[in-house]
Every structure is written in structure tokens, then in C-alpha cells.
Amino acid sequence: MMHLDMRGKQCPIPVIETKQALEAAGPGNVAEVLVDNEIAVQNLRKLAERKGYRFEAKKEAEREYRARLIWESTDQVISGSEETEISAPEAQNPEAQQACSPDGRRKGLVAVLSSETMGEGSEELGRLLMKGFLYALSQQEILPETVLLYNGGAKLSCEGAETLEDLKNLEALGVEILTCGTCLNYYGLTEKLSVGSVTNMYEIAERQMAASVIVKP
């Protein structure tokens, strides 16, 4: 059994690190995860449901929850006179199989980031959410083909941005990172671009018109 202490870690880190730990260990293993809020428990439950893991959880103290995700063995299970083979969850999911290839990008899937914050309301919370979104995006089984950054989103790919490491990870996985040159110039960041390359509005329009799916947080 693996023991993971995720107390104090922001979403989506508990879910992603638990998923990675179980996938590294393989079928027949259990991840016991300690978290400090009920939302994290719910997110872990959703992970278990999506992956086909058995799930248990209980509250042990104030701000202390213990969850268990059990990945059943791939051994065959005999029920009555029938014999059923339990496959790893990924084996049942063609998209997950695609992600096992060296290049897990989906052609025509474009992520568009037009702001350095995610959603409306608190700017501080919005920056935290955008950081979480990009980290989560970099951990997906199916990746976008391209990430387009313009207006305030141009700041995300520049020196000093908290999101820079996540964008570099996406680029290392083969995702094309394109930042609007006009926007960089407007914000005085032309010399600060630290990942990907500069693009123009014609190409931004062209990529979006050709996209089969556009993701815009």
C-alpha cells in the first residue's frame, strides 16, 4: 500500500499525484491518501470512478480525511460458471491507449488562453486557478496540439510567470506554444518570452478556424 500525504496541496495536485502513483505501481495496488478538505475527497472519488478503481474514504479528524483508491488486480475473476477477465482501466479506453504513444497530442485540439487569470472575480484566485489549469493540462492523457496565448494570456509564457514551468513541460511533450507578438510588444515583454515562439493574429485566426476542438478556460 502506498501512503500519500496531500494535506496543504492545492487542487489538482492530490488527484494528479495519486493517479501517477497508481499508474506507476500498476494493478493490484492501493493508494491511501491523506487530505485536509472534503472537496479533495470528492475529486479523488471522481478519479476512482473514471478509472474504475474501488474507493473508500472516512473523516478521521477536523480537516483530516483518509481516502483509499484500490486498483483491482488484472487476474481473472470467476463468477458462477463464467470467467471474466478484469482489464486495467486504460485498456478499456481507446483515448488512453492513444496517450501511451510517444506523442499524445490530439490533432485539431487547441487551447486558447486570452488572460493571465481564469474566470471572473478575485484576480488572485484567478491566477491560482490558471496555474492549476495549466498544470492539470500538462498531466492529461490526451494533450492539445497547440496552445495559443494572446492579450493578458501572453504574460503566461514570459520570464517570471508562475505558469512558465507548466508551459515548458507541455512544449517538451510536443505541444506547440504560440504567443501573440503584438501582445508581447504592447506589454513590453518582447524580450521576456521564455517558451514557445511568437505568432501573429493571422495565424491565431487560422489555427482557431481549423481547430476541431477549442478549449478556453
* Integer Cα distance of 134 and 161 in angstroms: 12
CATH classification number, 105-215, choose in 2.70.210.12, 1.10.10.10, 3.40.1260.10, 3.30.565.10: 3.40.1260.10
Name the fold adopted by 2-70.
Translation Initiation Factor IF3 (3.30.110)
| Predicted local distance difference test score (pLDDT) of residue 16 | 87
* Integer Cα distance of 174 and 168 in angstroms: 10
2-70 and 105-215, same CATH topology: no
pLDDT in tens, the chain (217 residues): 999 999 998 877 888 899 999 999 999 999 999 999 988 898 899 889 888 999 999 999 999 999 999 999 865 333 333 332 323 333 334 333 333 233 456 889 999 999 999 999 999 999 999 999 999 999 888 999 999 999 999 999 999 999 999 999 999 888 999 999 999 999 999 999 999 999 999 999 999 999 999 999 9
| Predicted local distance difference test score (pLDDT) of residue 215 | 95
| Predicted local distance difference test score (pLDDT) of residue 198 | 95
| Predicted local distance difference test score (pLDDT) of residue 98 | 35
Kindly tell me the burial class for residue 45, based on how many C-beta atoms sit within 10 Å of its own C-beta (0-12, 13-18, 19 or more).
middle
* Active site members: 11
Q: Report yes or no on whether pTM surpasses 0.75.
A: no
Nearest to 15 by CA among 42, 52, 54: 42
| Predicted local distance difference test score (pLDDT) of residue 103 | 46
| Predicted local distance difference test score (pLDDT) of residue 99 | 32
| Predicted local distance difference test score (pLDDT) of residue 128 | 96
| Residue 78 backbone zone (phi > 0: left; psi -120 to 50: alpha; other: beta) | beta
Nearest to 94 by CA among 76, 106, 77: 106
Nearest to 112 by CA among 11, 199, 192, 174: 199
| Predicted local distance difference test score (pLDDT) of residue 75 | 55
Q: Which residues contact 170 (CB under 8 A, 6 or more apart)?
A: 134, 137, 138, 143, 144, 147, 177
| Predicted local distance difference test score (pLDDT) of residue 9 | 87
Query: Would you list the domain boundaries of the chain?
Result: 2-70, 105-215
* Integer Cα distance of 15 and 23 in angstroms: 12
